[in-house]
Amino acid sequence: MTEQEAREVRNEALASTDYLMMPDYPLTPAGKMILGIYRQKLRDWPEAAGFPDPETMPEAEDWKKYKPIVANSGV
């Protein structure tokens, strides 16, 4: 993968998580923190050792597991 291709893949990964950063998107506080760390790692990746090898690109989480559980009030 060329550096340009790696940057495009990285930019797509950032864009694919933009909606998760919206203030009203339901993520747990831990999820928001992990999301922020992941996105920072993506931004830092071009300066990291191993760039542009796709094996060194930060891996995304399953963001659905960080959605808060809403208890049924039974009302």
- Global pTM reads 0.88
Is residue 28 included in any domain, yes or no? yes
Range of the domain at 16: 3-58
Tokens coding 47 = 């300066």
Is residue 44 included in any domain, yes or no? yes
Is residue 19 included in any domain, yes or no? yes
d(CA 75, CA 52): 54
Concatenated DSSP letters of the chain: --HHHHHHHHHHHHHHTGGGGSTTS---HHHHHHHHHHHHHHHHGGGSTTTT-GGGSPPPP-GGGGSPPPPP---
Q: What confidence score (pLDDT) does residue 40 get?
A: 98
Is residue 42 included in any domain, yes or no? yes
- State the total domains in the chain: 1
Band of residue 70 on the pLDDT scale cut at 50, 70, 90: confident
pLDDT of 23 > 70? The answer is yes
